[in-house]
Structure 1
Amino acid sequence: MIERPTYMNRIRPFIGKNIIKVLVGARRSGKSTLLELLKRHLVAEGADERAILHINFESGRYAGISNADDLVRYVHERMSEIDGTIRLFFDEIQEVDQWEKAVRSFMVDYDADIYVTGSNARMLSSDLTTHITGRYVSIDVYPFSFAEFLDAYRQSVGPIDERTAFRRYVAQGGFPFQTDLSFDETASLQYLDDLFSTILFKDVVRHAGIRDADALERVIRYVLGEEGHLVTAANIAAYMKSEHRKASAETIANYLDAASKAFLIYKAPREDAIGKRMLKINEKYYVVDQGLRHAVGFDNANAIDQVLEGIVYMELRRRGYDVRVGKIGNKEVDFIARRGDEVSYYQVTYLLGSAQTTDREFGAFSGLRDNWPKYVLSMDEFPRNREGIRGLNIIDWLLDGGTR
């Protein structure tokens, strides 16, 4: 089992506190493993194993628990005789109708330390969350970062140099189950292809009540192919029409929203970087993990600029940034990243091979007059700096934990 200290450190301040710890993220991104690591930590710290109840609602063993009343009854039968703190671990809790009511009752009726996971953001956007408003903390969980991928590969397979590992990461992404497959590329891509279908149909179609699953899949595949490019629901509708499939812009917008709520894709809105106002047209979308993109038929090596941009976008999210696309006059900055009062700007490119490319990437910041850090990330082994703008190697940036 691969330790994930970044997430453990985020959860640790809330352990034992009367607040619900909600771990959300794409299916198979490692949420269940984090629950298991938390259980081991608690037992190692002296927690009574008899006072720990762990339910995975995707297991057939718990098929009889379909709503809040069922869950309250089940927990009461097993934990009512426990003195002191009980620890409740609920995996994929969105499978339980009105789960918030049950969890709220546990906070009232017991001295309860509660952890839940879910694979759809709708679980925290329904009217039912009024039952736990102010009583939960949400922690986003993502597939392995490159640093985690490298550590996991070395632990489960053996030594590998960083550049070779990164080529694998570009192709296979970072879903943790690859450790069980010894990171074999063929097996991993087959697994990811199946995972894409599972997310699409279990976490998008079912939870959003989508009737035309084929149209949804065509839209999502289009977005993956256009990753990092500006898109609108209208131009996707035009594409669907060219495929002899009719879908309105409104329907497509609903598809994109549903896929975002399942953490399959992430929307990066555009912002006027000078006026600090949001722009209502054209957005970019990034897949949660580049391995999924490759597994469903796109050649990541042939779209390396797009893929690198997606890797950087997801890494910024892992580091806790709110990430937007910047517009400066007729120029575009790939990312404006904000975390608290901190702001930084990023351009991402494969190589700064020509003077024209260098001028374009560094020149994207020319309209910005603030003193916040500005970076050009590339695969160049010896990246250059210019006019206070730092050039960094992408692999080095991914491995340094954001300390530069």
Structure 2
Amino acid sequence: MEKSQLRQVIIDQQESFRKVEELVYRDIDLERYLRGNEIVIISGIRRCGKSSLLKLIAGQLEGVKFYVDFDDIRLSDFEVKNFQDLQDLIIEFYREELDKSGTGQVYYFFDEIQNVPLWERWLNNLYKEGKKVFATGSNSQLLSSEISTFLTGRNKVLKLFPFSFRELLRLKGIEITGEKIESGMLTSSRKAEIFSYFLEYFEKGGFPLVLISGDLELSRGYFEDILNKDVLVRYNIKEVRALKDLVLFLLSNVGRAYSYPTLRKITGIKSLSTIKNYLDYFQNVFLLYQLPRFDYSLKKQKVSSSKIYTIDNSFLKTVAFNFSENKGQRLENLVFVELLRREKELYYHSEKKECDFVLREGMRIKEAIQVSVDLNSPETRKREIEGLIEAMTTYKLDSGLILTFEEDDILDAGGKKIILKPVWKWLLE
């Protein structure tokens, strides 16, 4: 790429990065990532707010802030030699500021860094020079593999998700604490307002621009971009139709157990290893996640059927193929994503009965959670409670949690405590 072309792109991007915007602060301890000289890698699905987070970080730093968006199509011809051109442009653009400060402090902000060749070696060089770098990427496998090879001990990884429910409320101008909810200090009108926003979150998910614009159809475009650019092109997929059938089936059946032979039969993909690879690709780009069945035997756990969930509820409305509302599946998916956001080690329980989520800490299962829209049906109530009790008994737990749309109660089940709690309250804890 010619330096003159690169110069114009960088000029345009600096102006865009400095543009003043009203940004929603994320529930992240940024101070942890601002300290030290380590490279900060921000990873997450496309359109979850990584670029905005870079701006939020830049707003807390004093010095020269140099931004490059490598997802810009004008940089598709970027070559290794252009790294030095970027260094030259920093001096060209910011000589006066650097001379004035006398410290030469430059902060680097790079979007979608995985799009350029040998990026990890360049970041390593900047680290050795004492430069502070913040970089985003939309491919977990690429980042993790390259980090482990070249950046071990020199980086911090920040996993970013679409908006949480609390962040959605902040977008709407509402700051709320779990303590305030638990103490019963909310008025009826404020509860109704919060619940209405929960319904919006339940339907539209957490992609920032979807929530800001109210346009749920943006989610379909995000899905197409992720599938085409991050999966089909990057992994050079030949069986395009089969892969699309697979992802559509999985999105339409979130929360349900599957096996590789079942997926082979449904999609017509003959190779089980190919199916496994496709599932890995979906997880690498943060689109789908696999939830394993818990077993104390790792061998049995590996051959058990897994469940699939997606990173955002919007895909269940715009992409998945369903004959009914499937509120139960969508509520379960919402809970899964929140548990992922809270960095829990997750499994599902299945023996004679089933429990949606069991949370492991160290060598023990410490929590069991069922998810149900409501417990109005005697059949549903029996199934959910019995599944939870089996998990509580198996893992020697004194209490369990059932998350519902609106029910709020505590049950005594043979000496074991079962807490019923509305999901919207739990999301704000």
CA distance in 2, matches of 1:106, 1:31: 21
Q: CA deviation at 1:358?
A: 2.3
Task: For residue 58 of structure 1, give the secondary structure of its aligned residue in structure 2.
Answer: coil
Task: State the AA in 1 paired with 2:86.
Answer: Y
Cα deviation 1:195-224 (Å, max 9, x = unaligned): 110010111112222122222111100001
Q: Does the C-alpha gap of structure 1 residues 22 and 65 become closer, same or farther in structure 2, counting only changes over 3 Å?
A: same
Q: Where in structure 2 are the equivalents of 1:171-320 lying within 5 Å?
A: 171-181=203-213, 183=214, 188-241=215-268, 246-272=269-295, 278-298=301-321, 302-320=325-343
Task: For residue 5 of structure 1, give the secondary structure of its aligned residue in structure 2.
Answer: coil
Q: Name 1:55's counterpart in structure 2.
A: 68
Q: How many residues align?
A: 377
Q: Between 314-323 and 360-369, report the one with greater CA deviation.
A: 360-369
Q: CA deviation at 1:138?
A: 1.1
Q: Report whether the alignment pairs 1:100 with 2:125.
A: no
Q: Does the C-alpha gap of structure 1 residues 209 and 274 become closer, same or farther in structure 2, counting only changes over 3 Å?
A: closer
CA distance in 2, matches of 1:180, 1:72: 39
Q: Does the C-alpha gap of structure 1 residues 267 and 19 become closer, same or farther in structure 2, counting only changes over 3 Å?
A: same
Cα deviation 1:305-350 (Å, max 9, x = unaligned): 11111000000111121211123x3222211224568832111111
Q: CA deviation at 1:76?
A: 4.9
Q: CA deviation at 1:114?
A: 1.0
Task: State the AA in 2 paired with 1:381.
Answer: E
- Among 88, 100, 105, the alignment partner of 1:85 is 105
* Bigger Rg, which one: 2
Cα deviation 1:99-119 (Å, max 9, x = unaligned): 11000000112x211111100
Asked if 2 retains the 8 angstrom alpha-carbon contact of 1:31 and 1:141, the reply is yes
Q: Does the C-alpha gap of structure 1 residues 368 and 297 become closer, same or farther in structure 2, counting only changes over 3 Å?
A: closer
Task: State the AA in 2 paired with 1:335.
Answer: F
Identity of aligned residues (%): 28
CA distance in 2, matches of 1:252, 1:89: 36
Which structure 1 residue ranges, 5 or more long, are not aligned? none
Q: Does the C-alpha gap of structure 1 residues 233 and 258 become closer, same or farther in structure 2, counting only changes over 3 Å?
A: same
Q: Report whether the alignment pairs 1:74 with 2:86.
A: yes
Q: CA deviation at 1:12?
A: 1.6
Q: Does the C-alpha gap of structure 1 residues 275 and 344 become closer, same or farther in structure 2, counting only changes over 3 Å?
A: farther
Q: Does the C-alpha gap of structure 1 residues 274 and 257 become closer, same or farther in structure 2, counting only changes over 3 Å?
A: closer
Task: For residue 216 of structure 2, give the secondary structure of its aligned residue in structure 1.
Answer: helix
RMSD over aligned CA atoms reads 2.6
Q: CA deviation at 1:273?
A: 6.4
Asked if 1 retains the 8 angstrom alpha-carbon contact of 2:344 and 2:359, the reply is yes
Which structure 2 residue ranges, 5 or more long, are not aligned? 1-21, 175-189
CA distance in 1, matches of 2:399, 2:299: 17
Task: State the AA in 2 paired with 1:382.
Answer: D
Q: Does the C-alpha gap of structure 1 residues 168 and 298 become closer, same or farther in structure 2, counting only changes over 3 Å?
A: farther
Q: Does the C-alpha gap of structure 1 residues 372 and 339 become closer, same or farther in structure 2, counting only changes over 3 Å?
A: farther
Asked if 2 retains the 8 angstrom alpha-carbon contact of 1:55 and 1:62, the reply is no
Task: State the AA in 2 paired with 1:362.
Answer: I
Task: For residue 216 of structure 1, give the secondary structure of its aligned residue in structure 2.
Answer: helix
